[in-house]
Amino acid sequence: KEAGATFDLGQCVQEPIHLLGGVQSYGALVAVEAGRIAVVSANAAGKLGPAAVAGAPVDALLTAGQFETLTALADADTGSTAMMPVELASGRFDVTVHRSGARLMLEFEPAGLAQEFAGFYGPVRQALMRLQRAATVTDACRAAVTEIRELTGYDRVVAYRFESADGPGEVIAEDVVGDWEPWLGLWFPATDIPPQARRLYESNWIRVIADVDDATARLVPPEPPLDLSLSVLRTVSEFHLEYLRNIGVRSSMSVSLLSGGRLWGLIACHGRDVTILGPQVRAACEFFGVALSLHLAALREHDEAAARERSRTMIARLLEQITAEPSAGWPESPAGLSEVIESDAVLVRDADRITVQGDDPGSAVVSALFDALPELTAGEPWHSDRLGEDLPALAGHAAALAGALVLPTGLGRDCVVWLRRERSVARRWATDPAEPVRLGPHGRRLTPRGSTAVFLASVRGRSTPWTANDLAMAVEFGRAVMGIAAAHARRLSALNS
């Protein structure tokens, strides 16, 4: 009886998902090297004709003209969606092409999946316009899930945002059929999408799983394994197929949402039936992922610029106060420090004097913090949004203090410290985050996820994280303050000599 036994998550992280040696059987793969077919999927001859076998010359399968055009397409660097219709004796196909090392990878999908471009361009264009009008991240994601559901017909489409590159994530927008449970607001554990999958999704915008019960068409010969990273027909991990079956899903698609080249989130789609998307719909979804990523970046940049503007205004006012101070030390209590960087309290340490403005965590906590801090360099901020973990001496003080951004301002231990309290956030999990996978009576069985079995859990001991903007503002402020101090020191030494 192994029900309830835990599962070795190490297996997931190690699985080489780009080398699984097979493709989804509704299509066929032909890899060509030096004029010959080097590797084929086992179903290729059945679908494309007897010429589609390993070792055969490619000109028995394609005309010289067709092969030349496909080669040119692969080298035109249009991404993984370069596609061309091809007519063979066995039928009409849409062929998607890319290079994998020395090989030209041809992926054949039955024609007729592709929709007429003319009937397609209008709706996509309108959808993009609606997306561009969205003024917030959530609005943009909401518009995107509605449009993608409209475009593809999946039963559920969600926007899923990661907390951090390899962290858990939250469903922030959803469009779903009436008889499926809603997932909006649910959190899913980090282990649902292992790191190597996240890396792959950073170089490849889209993946479609047409049928979780498909019998994969194996590659011939199986060795050496063919790198399928950019393949559109790539077969997927058995672990993930099990995951999809567990949540009652027959087909899926996901589109990457990137920010600065890193995976920020995914648009994830599920269907109760087999769903084969043609190359055009796939291209439109991919295009949508790119457009949404760019729009999200623009929205973020806009918000960050506004925050920088506010911080810089405050820095300018503070500097006026500091320059006006005859001793060149800190004013007794410089106003506005907590507005340069959002915080609950600000500590200034100037020689032996420590002043606290705002929500004072108490002198015991403050001395514990100063004792535990590592050696710092003037002008280079140190930060933590989980002091109890980063500085174990503070582990008992999480309720009073969870985050600190320390800016050493010059000689000795002088510094400005922005402090943030613990922000305990309640999360609704789609599964028990402490035990994301269990072994059941059927063996390797991932626990199902969904809102019928919601786990409530709070994240303790964390403050709101310090953003790249917060750090940049601290550095700017530090430079200005140190500049003033240096100028003052020069004046003093000039006076004294």
**Residues 6 or more apart whose Cβ sits within 8 Å of residue 63:** none
Beta bridge partners of 159: 173, 267
Q: Should residue 194 be labelled a site residue for ligand BLA when binding is judged by CB under 6 A?
A: yes
Shortest approach of ligand BLA to residue 147 CB, angstroms? 18
Identity of the residue, 150 or 238, whose beta carbon is nearer to ligand BLA in the bound complex: 238
Site for ligand BLA (CB under 6 A): how many residues?
28
CA distance 467 to 457: 24
Q: Should residue 192 be labelled a site residue for ligand BLA when binding is judged by CB under 6 A?
A: yes
Identify residue 70 by its one-letter amino acid code.
Answer: L
Contact 436, 419 (CB under 8 A): no
Residue 71 burial (CB count, 10 A): 15
**Residues 6 or more apart whose Cβ sits within 8 Å of residue 247:** 270, 448, 449, 450
Applying the rule CB under 6 A, the residues between 216 and 275 that interact with ligand BLA are: 236-237, 239-240, 243, 252-254, 266, 268
Shortest approach of ligand BLA to residue 99 CB, angstroms? 20
Identity of the residue, 44 or 209, whose beta carbon is nearer to ligand BLA in the bound complex: 209
Q: Should residue 17 be labelled a site residue for ligand BLA when binding is judged by CB under 6 A?
A: yes
Site string for ligand BLA, 122-161 (x = CB under 6 A): ------------------------------------x-x-
Applying the rule CB under 6 A, the residues between 160 and 189 that interact with ligand BLA are: 160, 171, 183, 188
**Six-digit token string for 193:** 């999408």
Residue of the chain from 47, 98, 161, 207 that contacts ligand BLA (CB under 6 A): 207
Identity of the residue, 11 or 458, whose beta carbon is nearer to ligand BLA in the bound complex: 11
CA distance 162 to 187: 9
Contact 160, 128 (CB under 8 A): no
- The 10 Å CB-count burial string (b at 16+, else e) for 293-332 is bebbeebeeeeeeebeeebeebbeebbeebeeeeeeebee
**Residues 6 or more apart whose Cβ sits within 8 Å of residue 23:** 29, 41, 107, 216, 217, 219, 228, 231, 233, 234, 235
Q: Should residue 202 be labelled a site residue for ligand BLA when binding is judged by CB under 6 A?
A: no
Identity of the residue, 269 or 417, whose beta carbon is nearer to ligand BLA in the bound complex: 269
Question: In this chain, which residue has its C-beta nearest to ligand BLA?
Answer: 12
Q: Which segment (26-34, 78-86, 191-199, 397-405) binds ligand BLA by CB under 6 A? A: 191-199
CA distance 160 to 169: 6
Residue of the chain from 83, 446, 473, 474 that contacts ligand BLA (CB under 6 A): 446
Identity of the residue, 188 or 264, whose beta carbon is nearer to ligand BLA in the bound complex: 188
Shortest approach of ligand BLA to residue 320 CB, angstroms? 50
Applying the rule CB under 6 A, the residues between 42 and 101 that interact with ligand BLA are: none
Q: How far apart are the first and last CA of the chain?
A: 87
**Residues 6 or more apart whose Cβ sits within 8 Å of residue 217:** 22, 23, 24, 25, 28, 29, 41, 42, 43, 44
Phi, psi (5° rounding) for residue 202?
-80, -20
Beta bridge partners of 169: 162, 188
Identity of the residue, 430 or 481, whose beta carbon is nearer to ligand BLA in the bound complex: 430
Q: Should residue 286 be labelled a site residue for ligand BLA when binding is judged by CB under 6 A?
A: no
Shortest approach of ligand BLA to residue 418 CB, angstroms? 34
Residues at the contact surface with ligand BLA, assessed by CB under 6 A? 11-12, 15, 17, 158, 160, 171, 183, 188, 191-194, 197, 207, 209, 236-237, 239-240, 243, 252-254, 266, 268, 437, 446
